[in-house]
């Protein structure tokens, strides 16, 4: 407990220094600090890594990479809190508060991945609200604006994925990238949609999230994730994003529709088409790793839906051989 409180206090002190104009005697950025902290985390010493970065940032507050890793560590702590059954001090919401503080600094300093993780923090806040109040209350109370910005090509991907899922569908996401894009398209864009996003791994591991979502879906919360999704597919469209594993539902036939695979009854699709304008703009420069991962999602969709090879993948340039059979 004491060590944890000290780690949180260290981050606050560092944040205060970063916001103080004219701070004297700032230490120069140490290029070895972030690799050292990452190595500590990978060896199972995240608490020590977080404390180390808190101390370091108190003297070198202009290191955007260090702010990003500090925020990522706190975000990972919030994930661990869910998987541990919400046991431990502090609660997951406080981890997210500290992650937001650090990631806001990283965004200010131009860290490449900070915007995506800052959005993941807001998704994390919504997950806690779902666990407390359920999906319908969370959706009804979502602000139509005010969420931290996502890279345009991630927002675009999320809208494309939601537009690929028929009306009243349940969309199962695979990667964090797909999840945060869909989440923003459903809750953060002000759009009216009946599509419901599901995080299958969290549904399987977190009884509170499972209870909050099962109530909205009309499913017994004791039903495991595979049985739940199989039952959902009997009553409404079940959509899988390109990186989602089809084994989450058993014995249901899948068919490719736009970017997703769909099982169950197919309702109407939005008349809105798919666009990759933002990804094309990002690709004109030195595309970062998130832009490359976003492109990989479209390519994965093309491996299951050949119609994409003469439309959206053509817009992205040379069609990948493994996606389009060339």
- Per-residue pLDDT tens over the stretch 159-191: 999 999 999 999 999 999 999 999 999 987 666
| Structure confidence at residue 186 (pLDDT) | 92
pLDDT at 326: 46
Give the model's pLDDT for residue 6: 47
The answer to whether 243 touches 252, Cβ cutoff 8 Å, is no
238-240 sheet: strands from edge to edge: 196-198, 170-172, 238-240, 260-263, 255-257
Q: Looking at residue 1, what is its pLDDT?
A: 40
**Burial group, residue 138, by CB count within 10 angstroms (0-12, 13-18, 19+):** buried
Given this model, what pLDDT does residue 68 score? 97
**Which residues of the chain, if any, have pLDDT below 70?**
1-25, 144, 189-192, 285-287, 318-323, 325-326
pLDDT of residue 266: 84
Task: Please tell me the predicted confidence (pLDDT) of residue 7.
Answer: 52
* H or E stretch covering 29: none
């Amino acid at each position: 407990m004491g060590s944890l409180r000290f780690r949180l206090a260290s981050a606050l002190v560092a944040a205060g220094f970063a916001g103080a104009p004219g701070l004297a005697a700032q230490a120069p950025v140490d290029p070895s600090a972030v690799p050292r902290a990452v190595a500590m985390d990978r060896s199972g010493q995240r608490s020590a890594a977080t404390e180390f970065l808190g101390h370091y940032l108190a003297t070198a507050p202009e290191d955007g990479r260090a702010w990003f890793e500090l925020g990522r560590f706190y975000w990972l702590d919030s994930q661990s809190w869910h998987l541990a059954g919400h046991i431990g001090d502090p609660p997951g919401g406080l981890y997210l508060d500290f992650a937001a503080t650090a990631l806001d600094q990283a965004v200010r300093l131009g860290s490449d991945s900070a915007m995506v993780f800052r959005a993941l923090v807001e998704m994390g806040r919504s997950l806690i609200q779902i666990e407390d109040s359920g999906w319908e209350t969370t959706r009804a109370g979502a602000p139509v604006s005010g969420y931290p910005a996502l890279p345009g090509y991630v927002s675009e991907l999320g809208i494309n994925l939601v537009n690929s899922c028929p009306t009243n569908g349940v969309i199962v996401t695979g990667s964090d990238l797909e999840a945060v894009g869909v989440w923003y398209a459903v809750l953060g864009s002000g759009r009216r949609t009946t599509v419901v996003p599901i995080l299958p791994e969290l549904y399987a591991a977190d009884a509170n999230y499972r209870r909050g979502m099962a109530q909205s879906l009309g499913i017994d919360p004791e039903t495991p994730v595979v049985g739940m999704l199989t039952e959902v597919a009997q009553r409404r469209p079940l959509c899988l994003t390109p990186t989602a594993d089809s084994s989450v539902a058993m014995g249901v036939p899948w068919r490719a529709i736009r970017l997703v695979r769909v099982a169950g009854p197919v309702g109407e699709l939005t008349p809105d088409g798919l666009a990759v304008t933002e990804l094309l703009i990002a690709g004109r420069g030195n595309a970062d790793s998130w832009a490359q991962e976003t492109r990989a999602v479209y390519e994965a969709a093309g491996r299951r839906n050949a119609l994409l090879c003469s439309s959206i993948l053509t817009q992205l340039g040379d069609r990948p051989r493994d996606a389009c059979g060339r």
